[in-house]
Amino acid sequence: MVANSGLVLLYILSPVIWKPQKCIGCKNVVRFGKKSLLPLRKSSCSMQASTVRYSFETKSVVSIPSSEKNSSNVVKESSKKAVRNDVEDDDQLPLVFDLPAITSYWERRQVESRRRYFEVVSRILPFFIKVLLESRSGKLKETETERAIEFREMLTYLGPTFIKLGQSLSIRPDMVGPRAMEELQKLCDAVPPFSTDIALAMIEEELGKPATELFSEISEKPIAAASLGQVYYARLKSTGEEVAIKVQRPDMLRKVTLDLYVMRKVAALMEVLQEKLMASRVQYRALLDQWSRSMYLELDYVNEGKNAMRFSKYLQDFPEVYVPAVYFEYTSRRVLTMEWIYGKKLAKSEPAEIRRLVRVGVNCFLNQLLGTGFFHADPHPGNLLVDKKGRLVILDFGLMSEIDKSQMDRMIIAIIHLANRDYKKVVDDFIFLGFLPENVDRARIGSMLGVVLDQALQGGGAKNVNFQKLSSQLSEITFELPFQIPPYFALIIRALSVLEGIALVGDPQFKMIMEAFPYVSKRLLTDESPYLKQALREILYKNGQFSPKRLRVLVDSAQGFIQNGEAFVDFDTPPQVGASTAQVLQFLLSEEGAIIRNLLADELANGLDLWLRHFLQQLRSSLLAPFPVSIRSYIPLPLTMRLATAEPLESKDYHYLENMQQAVLFLLTDRTNVGSQSISPFLLQQVTKSFMEEEVVHMLPQLIKESVGWNRRVFQKLLEVYLKRLGNEIFSS
């Protein structure tokens, strides 16, 4: 085993032994020892030295080959915007992620790629082998914190692409473990700014005109600088509007693709070492390819602008959230121009403002995640501002994610199963969502999830649990299980954790779980999806029978009233203070209340049928009482009475009638008066009292109007019941 590992190590470090020799002119082949590499195109020969300087006269980058240093014929990059075909850039690098094209490009540039490869491997390999050996010997638990710090420092040293990778790993407990996650969250992509002269040249090259012709003013220094680009304040010359210009760092596409190429080779070697030294099997290359696609998209500022505009279209129901306008005529792949926003960071606002806007932000994010399926995957504190109008401003749309309707619906269902502590079904949800393989031990995983969640919720319910704490506790077990967090969900975890972290600044009692449930309840009550309708029935028909209490809990939750219970939400304990009768009626009469109206109509029809049967049975008994028992069956009765009394009521039917009265009490009265009394006089008294309220009186015309359609459905349902009975009567006679 050790010998084999040594051979692998020797192979990895072989670039150290290979010593580059001079370029062989006409053949243009670079030789390393006895190895010959692929021929290089003459124009891209890496052995040919060159000098790069900046031309202040033409504001363009000038490249002077060594053979022409003393020549007056200087080769200049065109200041005009490069003609692009949206497939490759001027240097034959693909503009969309294309692994074969990237590989081919860098395999033709062996000197540069091997130099970077050696730099990366010399840092990563010793660290990775150390971790593998400590893991095998059982010492990794003791050194975990030390290795986590070492890992963060290593990624920082290797540069922007590796920092971005580390930030992505910081939300992957299934890959790096809880201690490493905590350490990687400290990674910062802030780097020193590059020259403004170079930025101006980039603007000219990308937009086709000098910056002085496009902008009447531009800040001398960048307002902010990050690993991929930097931002300037400017004013449009044509309209005088204030804008923010984001300019990408020079040669970023080349640098990033080189790192991606090298990363993939390192990932392949890590898989070899893993196979030799560990039982676990992580597909590093497949995971890296997934991440590389999103990383590649962040380099395309036109795509970022389109994301911002698409995101903005989904904010019609959120007037307190704003996305800056994009100026596409001043935007290209490497230059993005957006509306300038005067404001302050949300995290530095007053606590009351933080509380207000975080709740707005949470609902906005949940609508993205569970409503539109298109969500902002990087809402870190620097991307959330408060403008002069008190609106929440969202910036930076380079990293977005998208999920389909089935995933959205299943996440809502999973939340419901978690709230019900139905961990067996939670495991099924996780399998559907891609967290667990099909052949997993469902009983074992369900039991482990139950232990963690029950401990987290012990002593006060969800109000004592925050999302970050819960994520951390879950990560402790997911690292030990065949658990794989899908890339889209890793971004969700990151976004929710950031929002909760900001909220805790303004409100130490803030809990993401409790804030999310009203949205989930409303979706359950209003969404036409078959999956969600089934989930709604699972909640409302506990043990197969309709539960008015649970309906009221959902209606109250959708209105923002939640009772703190042992689970996330206790479906069997309505809150002490809930929605008013007017609020409930307003919901039931609205378009959003259609599903519940139909459900209640069906239940009411069944209840009326039972009540009529009960009434007619009593009437029948009264009519037949004077006659001897022996001849009662021969006395003719109207067909309607025979149909109505065809089936005698059982105890479950009487319980159903009580349930229906409870439904009316819970939905249309002040529930603080609801006790064991459920007889009709009490019901009538409470309903009459509620309908005398001023708010409700104003709604009576609308209630009467809407009740016409509702009554029609009740009648149709009753008719179905009686027609079915008539058929049974005919065929049985």
Active-site amino acid positions: 378
User: What is the crossing angle of helices 530-540 and 405-419, to 10°?
Assistant: 10
Helix (H) / strand (E) element for 205: namely helix 196-207
Dihedral angle sign, alpha carbons of residues 83, 85, 88, 94: positive
Calculate the alpha carbon distances from 499 to 459, 470, 512 in Å. Answer: 25, 15, 8
Strand order in the sheet with 384-387: 321-322, 392-394, 384-387, 343-345
Cα separation of 619 and 612, whole Å? 10
Within 8 A by CB and 6+ apart from 203, the residues are 211, 214, 245, 247, 335
Token pair for residue 363?
A: 């609902």
Residue with tokens 């922007």: 160
Q: How many CB atoms lie within 10 A of CB 541?
A: 12
Residue with tokens 């020892």: 33
Nearest to 424 by CA among 404, 452, 444, 398: 444
Calculate the alpha carbon distances from 86 to 504, 678, 693 in Å. Answer: 44, 71, 65
Residue with tokens 């014929």: 73
Q: How many CB atoms lie within 10 A of CB 487?
A: 18
User: What is the crossing angle of helices 284-297 and 160-169, to 10°?
Assistant: 110
Within 8 A by CB and 6+ apart from 27, the residues are 39
Helix spans in 47-109 (H): 99-107
| Half-sphere exposure at residue 61, Cβ-oriented, CA atoms within 13 angstroms | 15
Q: What are residue 542's phi and psi, to 5 degrees?
A: -65, 130
DSSP state of 543: T
Token pair for residue 115?
A: 């130099």
Q: How many CB atoms lie within 10 A of CB 163?
A: 22
In this structure, the chain runs to a length of: 733
Token pair for residue 366?
A: 């949940």
- The terminus-to-terminus CA distance of the chain in angstroms comes to 84
Cα separation of 492 and 375, whole Å? 9
Within 8 A by CB and 6+ apart from 587, the residues are 555, 558, 559, 579, 593, 596
Q: What are residue 634's phi and psi, to 5 degrees?
A: -95, -10
Helix (H) / strand (E) element for 86: namely none
